[in-house]
Amino acid sequence: MLTPLVAGNWKMNTTLREGAGLVMSLRELIKGVDSVEILIAPPFTHLHHLSHLAADSPIKLAAQNVYWEKKGAFTGEISPEMLKDVGCRYVIIGHSERRQYFHETDETVNRKLLFSIKEGLKPIVCVGETLEEREAGKALTKVRSQLKKALSGIVVGTLKEVAVAYEPVWAIGTGRNASPEDAEEVHSAIKELLFDMFDTEFANSVRVIYGGSVKPDNMDALMAQPNIDGALVGGASLKAADFARIIKFQSQK
Q: What is the pLDDT of residues 41-59, one digit of tens each?
A: 999 999 999 999 999 999 9
pLDDT tens per residue, range 10-46? 999 999 999 999 999 999 999 999 999 999 999 999 9
Residue 247 near residue 6, CB atoms below 8 Å: yes
The predicted-structure confidence for 139-180, as pLDDT tens digits, reads as follows 999 999 999 999 999 988 777 789 999 999 888 767 677 899
Return the pLDDT at 191: 97
Mean pLDDT of 239-246: 98
Reported as a single tens digit per residue, the pLDDT across 83-94 is 999 999 999 999
pLDDT tens across 173-213, in order?
676 778 999 999 999 999 999 999 998 998 999 999 999 88
**How many whole angstroms separate alpha carbon 141 and alpha carbon 134?**
10
Looking at residue 140, what is its pLDDT?
96
**Closest to 193 in 3D by CA, of 175, 173, 208, 213:** 208
Q: What is the mean pLDDT of the chain?
A: 95
Positions annotated as catalytic residues are 95, 167
**In this predicted structure, what is the pLDDT of residue 222?**
96
Mean of pLDDT values over 122-129: 97
CB 168, CB 124: distance < 8 Å: no
Sketch the domain layout of the chain as residue ranges.
Answer: 5-247
Average pLDDT over residues 95-110: 96
Q: At 253, is the pLDDT very low, low, confident or very high (cuts 50, 70, 90)?
A: low
Task: Answer whether residue 252 shows pLDDT above 70.
Answer: no
Residue 187 has what pLDDT?
97
- Pick the closest to residue 102 from 134, 76, 128, 73 (CA basis): 76
Write down the pTM of the prediction. 0.96
The CATH number for 5-247, chosen from 3.20.20.70, 3.40.50.11710, 3.90.180.10, 2.60.120.10, is: 3.20.20.70
Name the percent of the chain lying above pLDDT 90: 88
> How confident is the model over 68-80, as pLDDT tens digits?
999 999 999 999 9
Query: How many beta carbons lie within 10 A of that of residue 181, not counting itself?
Result: 9
Phi, psi of 15 (to 5 degrees): -80, 170
User: How far apart are alpha carbons 66 and 98 in whole angstroms?
Assistant: 11
The CA-CA-CA angle for residues 162, 37, 6, to 5°, reads: 80
Does 116 score more than 70 pLDDT?
Answer: yes
pLDDT for the residue 161: 87
Residue 182 neighbours by CB under 8 Å, 6+ apart: none
Q: What gap in Å lies between CA 164 and CA 144, rounded to an integer?
A: 12
90 vs 131 pLDDT, higher one: 90
Closest CA to 91 of 54, 41, 130: 41
Residue 217 has pLDDT above 90, yes or no: yes
